[in-house]
Amino acid sequence: MSAIRLEAGLANVLVDLQNEIAEEFKRMIVKVWDSCEHEFAPFFAAMRELYKQHKSEAYWQENEESPLWDVFNAIPADTNDYHSLYMAIMHERVWDYSRYNDLHIKYEPLPYHFGYSSFYEAFISFTDKAIEQFASGRNLQEKLRKELFIILIVNQYKEERMQLTLRQLYYQMVSKNHIANSEKEYKGIIELTGNMRSSCVLELDEFADNTRFAVRYRYAEKVTDFLKEKLNAYGYVMDTRSGQPNYLEVWIEKEALRSVFKPITDEQDVPLFICRGYPSTSSLFQQAKAISRKMKKEKTIKNVTILYYGDHDPSGLQIPEAIERIFHEDYQMHYVHVKRCGLLMKHIRSFHLPPNPAKLTDPRAESYVREHGGESWELDAVEPKELQRLVDRAINDYTDMEVKAEVRSKQSEGRELIQKVTADLIAQIGGMEEENEDLEEDEESDLF
């Protein structure tokens, strides 16, 4: 194995180790929180005791007066071989009988520029950083409270297979009254979560960043690999809105909310367009052409509606009006209607959303303040799950479910046919390809 491939494999393992420590650390925090019956005072006392006992390097002694006494049964661990209860827990959950233990033996010492002489030394360092970050520092009670609720919120949405942006996390913290709604607190959350990720309290990829992307390419080394990917039966997707009298698109103001809206629009087969504020003339014209092509192709369409979601502020209320005006006046597409579905005042009231000062420098601020007062509200503040329900219901209101069911039935039949044809073709070509055993790949399999 070449030196650079060895280093790449070792680096991958170290990143995996950090993320696994963070995953287990969060799990430990949740178990302690549950055992304290969601009361912060005993939780804080237990975490301080856990930290102090870890730093003192005194062996854990069962003591009924210790705050850890009640939570010990919730976190079973054998402490006989370790100087602290915390290290015993992390050894049991992450290190013992793991691939990291095996790799520690095989690849010791690590290259000097890794900063660790071995995987075990890295494990000890990462594990120590996590408890140090979580349970020590200035203004500890306030900091630890924030860290706890960040973990609980992140876990909640991860269970629902949703990845929050930092902005969404901030608004969840505000809406649950964990922090005030201010620029200072927002910057504080960014700094705190950065420290938590670099210290293995949160995973490195814990949050979504929908504003930056890379262009990369995929390749296939064998014909059978290509066929398996390209002839995947589930890649055969019919337009399940074909035959519907209402042609729909969902447009949103913010790129950051793509990960919230996209699962719903994907499931509903409705195009999603991210405006990023006021959409550019070029992007609007491209969308107009796409709608025109759809009108030519689908003879059943009687209405075209754009469901728009944006902030409740001077610009957010005016953007859908401006979009519809351009469709009508510039493109003569008078059949296109833009419906502002959110953020509406009824949502603000029902979800008890935190307000922001309206931007008085906005040219549209005067009329907005006259009608709504000096406060504005961001769409990000709505809980992602609630926002998804709003979008799903809005789409269903424009959907003939019987027509949709018929299309999906035809799609299922097509997928079954593709599965049969693909299996026969792959079996035929696979028999013609030579399978070369590569010893070097076998040696590298434990790292990659």
Q: What is the DSSP string of 95-145?
A: ITTSHHHHHHHHT-SPPGGGS-SSHHHHHHHHHHHHHHHHH-STTHHHHHH
Which of 169, 198, 227 is where one domain is finished?
198
Residues 308 and 170 in one domain: no
Is 73 within a domain?
yes
pLDDT by residue for the chain (448 residues), tens digit each? 678 888 888 999 999 999 999 999 999 999 999 999 999 999 999 999 899 988 886 655 666 566 676 676 655 555 556 678 899 889 989 998 899 988 888 888 888 788 899 999 999 999 999 999 999 999 999 999 999 999 999 999 898 888 889 998 998 898 888 999 899 999 999 999 999 999 999 999 999 887 777 887 777 777 777 777 777 777 788 888 999 999 999 999 998 888 899 999 999 999 999 999 999 999 999 999 999 999 998 888 999 999 999 999 999 999 999 999 999 999 999 999 999 998 999 999 999 998 988 888 888 888 899 999 999 999 988 998 999 999 999 999 999 999 999 999 998 988 888 888 888 777 777 666 555 444 445 556 677 6
Question: Cα separation of 431 and 82, whole Å?
Answer: 55
Q: Looking at the structure, tell me whether residues 178 and 308 fall in a common domain.
A: no
Give domain status of residue 203, yes or no. Answer: no
Cα separations in angstroms, 402 against 85, 119, 244, 408, 434: 59, 58, 10, 10, 49
Q: Is 337 helix (H, G, I), strand (E, B) or coil?
A: strand
The angle subtended at Cα 427 by Cα 421 and Cα 428, nearest 5°, is 90
Which tens digits make up the pLDDT trace of 219-264? 777 777 777 777 777 778 888 899 999 999 999 999 888 889 999 9
pLDDT digits (tens, 9 = 90+) for 274-305: 999 999 999 999 999 999 999 998 888 999 99
Pairing of strands 356-357, 375-376: antiparallel
- Residues 37-54: tens digit of each pLDDT: 999 999 999 999 899 988
Do residue 169 and residue 30 come from a single domain?
Answer: yes
Q: Tell me, yes or no, whether 163 lies in a domain.
A: yes
Domains identified in the chain, total number: 2
CB atoms within 10 A of CB 242: 15
Residues 285 and 191 in one domain: no
Residues 251 and 169 in one domain: no
Residue 263 has a CB neighbour count (10 Å cut-off) of 15
**What span, in angstroms and rounded, lies between the C-alpha atoms of 340 and 318?**
10
What CATH number did the domain enclosing 389 receive? 3.40.1360.10
Please say whether the beta carbons of 304 and 247 come within 8 A. yes
Do 257 and 136 lie in one domain? The reply is: no
Q: Collect all residues with Cβ–Cβ distance below 8 Å to 118 and sequence separation of at least 6.
A: 104, 107, 108, 109, 110
Calpha distance 391→393 (Å, rounded): 5
Q: Kindly state the greatest CA–CA separation across the chain.
A: 80
**58 lies in the same domain as 184:** yes
Give a yes or no: residue 205 inside a domain.
no
In a domain, 439, yes or no: no
In order, the DSSP letters of 201-228 are SS-TT-S--TT---------SSHHHHHH
Contact 311, 379 (CB under 8 A): yes
Q: Rounded distance, CA 264 to CA 63, Å?
A: 52
Domain span holding position 362: 244-399
Amino acid at 322: A
Residues 40, 175, single domain; the answer is yes
Q: Do 8 and 154 have their domain in common?
A: yes
Tell me if 210 is assigned to some domain. Answer: no
Residue 50 lies in a domain: yes
Residue 216 lies in a domain: no
Is there a single domain that holds both residue 257 and residue 188?
Answer: no
Residue 167 tokens read as 């902005």
Same domain, 48 and 105: yes
Rg (CA), the chain: 27
Q: Is there a single domain that holds both residue 180 and residue 54? A: yes
Strands (DSSP E) contained in 147-206 are: none
Closest CA to 322 of 262, 268, 356, 364: 364
